[in-house]
Amino acid sequence: MFWKSSPCSRPALCDVRLSLIPEPKAGGSGKSAERVKTMVMLAHQIRLEPNRREEEYFRKACGISRFAWNWGLSEWKRRHESKQKVDGLRLKKEFNTRKALEFPWTYEVTKYASQQPFLHLQAAFRRFFDKKGRYPRFKRKGVHDTFYIGGDQLEVSGKSVRIPRLGWVRMREKVRFRGKVVSATVRRIADRWFVSVHVELEEAPAPCESQAGVGVDLGVNRLATLSNGETFEGPKPLRKELSKLRRLSRALSRKEKGSKNRLRAKVMLQRLHYRIRAIRQDSLHKLTTYLTRNFGAIAIEDLNVKGMLRNRRLSRAISDMGFHEFRRQVEYKARLRQNHLEVVSRWFQSSKICSECGAVKESLSLSERRYRCTGCGFESDRDLNAALNLFRTVSSTGFQACGEEGSGFSQRWSETVLCEAGT
């Protein structure tokens, strides 16, 4: 099967993210403890259509959110150097007591713009101390402009969203999920504004009823090759837009810093980067949705993407396919539809093993696109042979749907704690 991904004629990008929040158990502890129920949350990112007054509000809210983050980070550093106890909640309380006199302009926008950054800062330091992230850095104007809105101040109706101290703002489309609106995040991409609405679903999506299994081999020539012989061509948006990207980058570098021409050139370059990202996301969403809807068990390889990017000859092509984004999407969609996802070790020689007799080939160069077994004479496409080997890891061990007792994948569900600064 060849997947033809068309460019996004509609700029609204649906970036769906999943959070599974365990609910407390209903009874005491026992040998036959009940399964932990989960609350499913999805986020839908939609483009906004603001006027000049609404854009001014968005820029002001992003500036206040950035100011609160930088103020909290500087205070965190100062108190940590003086060996004082510091956390995000203490900084938030102190900021709230001082903002009436020192920062009265923060009242012009929603309260979450100046309060939520302190909780985000505390979470960033927690990731840093757990060695799961880098040290938090100061934010700059025009780089990742965003602000948060809590669910108690948010209302969504049709193609409009009500933002506190502003009013109703038009959206390009309706929210696709039914449920309770928990929160929202407004962000700027290029010169466009988007809102990411977080929804707690009323009913969990129907699980995948198919008992079929499939092995998926990712590649640079083709995005994915399935063990049943289907192939999915990647759109390769970066490769197609590379000449235009270089031309716009050269034009930006020649403009005088601080001029309006440089600002226009910067916006044009940002729009192209967004278009490339949107095309790639569109193809990956189509592929991962097809896999989770039609196959109860999916086997993928644990690719070392960071190590693969060190190859300077293939790094651009690998980045253009989006291997890491593919795994992120297939993982949360497998949890959502209760598929069994088998992540095979990266040391498993899927390309060198003969899917017919099991013989291992000593050497196999990247230029050999056909696999030929010297033992049994089996000959097949290289990627198809690897996908068949990945499929055998599922069929040999059997599988259970994600969330059932005994499924190893269900034990790796990420627990997300939803916290707001104003509630």
Active site residues: 217, 301, 383
CB 296 within 8 A of CB 401: yes
Residues in the chain: 423
Alpha-carbon gap, residue 81 to 78, rounded angstroms: 5
**b/e sequence 20-41, b meaning 16+ C-beta within 10 Å:** bbeeeeeeeeeeeeeeeebbbb
Alpha-carbon gap, residue 148 to 128, rounded angstroms: 22
Alpha-carbon gap, residue 409 to 332, rounded angstroms: 11
The tokens for 384 are: 């198809």
Helices and strands counted in the chain (H then E): 10, 15
Q: Which residues have CB under 8 Å from 395's CB, separation 6+?
A: 213
**Could you tell me the strand order of the sheet in which 167-170 lies?**
155-157, 160-163, 167-170
The tokens for 390 are: 């990945």
Locate the DSSP E strands across 295-399.
Answer: 297-301, 340-344, 370-372, 379-381
With 0-12 CB in 10 A as exposed, 13-18 as middle and 19+ as buried, what is 98? exposed
| Phi, psi torsion values for 348, nearest 5 degrees | -75, 125
- Among 96, 110, 102, which residue's Cα sits nearest to residue 64? 110
Q: Which residues have CB under 8 Å from 281's CB, separation 6+?
A: 13, 15, 322, 325
Alpha-carbon gap, residue 273 to 278, rounded angstroms: 9
